[in-house]
Chains A and B, each alone.
Chain A
Amino acid sequence: MDYRTALTTCTYCGCGCNLYLEVLDGQIIDTIPCKTSPVNEGKLCIKGWNVHEFVQSPNRLTRPLLRKEGTFEEVSWDEALEFTASKLRDIKEGYGGDSIGFLTSAKATNEENYLLQKFARAALGTNNVDHCARL
């Protein structure tokens, strides 16, 4: 039996409510609002209360997909990463780093956003970095 509660921050809106994900044997079974949070003081909205539901949805993407002759095929990480890296390299060499654009994400963590813009700026030499947050 492996029962645990993990304290985290809601991934939906900008309020940033703190909540516990209740995990039993690797399955997230419920969400519990954090009582001592300065933000939400033990309350959540309907999205927060159900934030665990999408995580283990059967519709999640679980394998890298590569378009081959028009249709997607499941491929190994190695193949997907190699494809991405080599295409990016080709385009950078052929047209310059400024021919590549990057959209960072209002849903990803700070660390991931930092890393993607660093990748764009340092590895590809472009400031073409933006996100859809104006929307």
Chain B
Amino acid sequence: MIKEVKKRVKELLDSGKITGFLGLRDMNGHVGPHLFCDGGDLEALVLGDRERPGDSRYPLNKQLIHLARSYPEDTFGVLVRGCDERGLKTLSTWNQLHPDKVVPVGIACPQELAEACECLRPYPDEFVCGEKVEGCPYDSVAQLDGIDLAARFDHWMREFEKCIKCYGCRDICPMCFCKECSLESNELIRTGDIPPEMPLFHLTRAVHMAGRCIDCGLCNEACPADIPLRTLYKKVADIIDEEFHYRPGYVADQKSPLNILSQPGVE
């Protein structure tokens, strides 16, 4: 698997098509994000499957935005799975990234990861390695939908109660790019308290991510309180899909119906 990826990245770097490739590196005994700039130096490149498939995924698109903001003329390659590609597409409709300045190098996720993620499309449009597997339904949502409303509310309140207000769900999110974050507004949610006001804090974020969340699950993995945030956002995504027939990132160039009017882009 990794061979095909390295080959592709080497071609891109050697041909001068990209300035650098944002991928993952095994270094210091850990896997972390890294910008590869030399086609001859791809030894440590890895895909983020250390003990289990996808156990060391990072918000590479977020780091890509950092680079693109400082170096708007350069083109970068980036490692993408299905969710990351949904992210790229959506970020471009929000004018956060220019599609012609990004060269995705895709990998398809194995069954195990697709199931763990309950991912509707666990592969990008094009991929250099991996096998295409079927998407998996949102079982966690269905399961909660199956219990009565009061119990469901209880469940979420018990989960939210653990929140230590680290803002990690926002900070890790490749789709959070607003300059001012309503979660930090003292008028909306009193600052300084933990847990933050319930369920206001979490619902504010859920609503904000509607039409933007590409279901990568990184927030869930970053939550020190193990709150099943991904399930919450999946539920919101289902509602948006029912109402507006829109799921971010599944169709290129399709803009979110919720924010057609206000584009906070960088252009």
| Chain A interface (Cβ < 8 Å from any Cβ of B) | 1, 3-5, 7, 18, 20, 22, 24-25, 29-30, 32-37, 40, 42-46, 48-49
Contact = CB atoms under 8 A, between A and B. Distances in A.
B31 A36 contact: yes
B27 A7 contact: yes
A33 B167 CA distance: 13
Contacts, number: 84
B57 A35 contact: yes
Contacts of A35: 30-32, 48, 55-58, 221
B243 to A, nearest CB: 33
Nearest to B171: A49
A40 B223 CA distance: 10
A24 B27 CA distance: 19
B222 A42 contact: yes
Contacts of A3: 20, 35, 67
B32 A25 contact: no
A16 B6 CA distance: 34
Contact of B168 (A4, A24, A44): A44
B257 to A, nearest CB: 31
A35 B168 CA distance: 13
Interface string B20-54: 10000001111111110100000000001010000
22 contacts: A4-B35, A5-B33, A20-B32, A20-B33, A22-B63, A30-B66, A32-B58, A32-B63, A32-B172, A35-B31, A35-B56, A35-B57, A35-B58, A36-B50, A36-B56, A37-B30, A42-B56, A44-B224, A45-B164, A46-B166, A48-B166, A49-B166
Contacts of A4: 34-35
Among A1, A35, A40: residue with most chain B CB under 10 A: A35
Contacts of B222: 33, 42-44
B221 A42 contact: yes
Given A1-B74, A37-B30, 6 more contacts: A1-B19, A5-B32, A24-B67, A35-B32, A43-B221, A43-B222
Interface residues on B, range: 35 or more
B143 interface: no
A46 B168 CA distance: 7
B262 interface: no
A63 B82 CA distance: 50
Contacts of A48: 166
A25 to B, nearest CB: 7
Most B CB atoms within 10 A — which of A30, A36, A45? A36
A45 B224 contact: yes
A-B complex: 10 closest residue pairs judged by Cβ atoms: A43-B224, A35-B56, A3-B35, A36-B30, A46-B166, A45-B166, A7-B28, A20-B32, A49-B171, A36-B31
B167 A46 contact: yes
Contacts of A36: 29-31, 50, 55-56
Contact of A25 (B19, B70, B221): B70
A105 to B, nearest CB: 25
B244 interface: no
B165 A46 contact: yes
Q: Interface centre among A1, A42, A45, by most B CB within 10 Å?
A: A42
B153 interface: no
Contacts of B34: 4-5
A7 B32 contact: yes
Contact of A24 (B37, B55, B70): B70
B31 A43 contact: no
Nearest to B164: A45
A44 B169 CA distance: 10
A33 B171 CA distance: 10
A44 B167 CA distance: 9
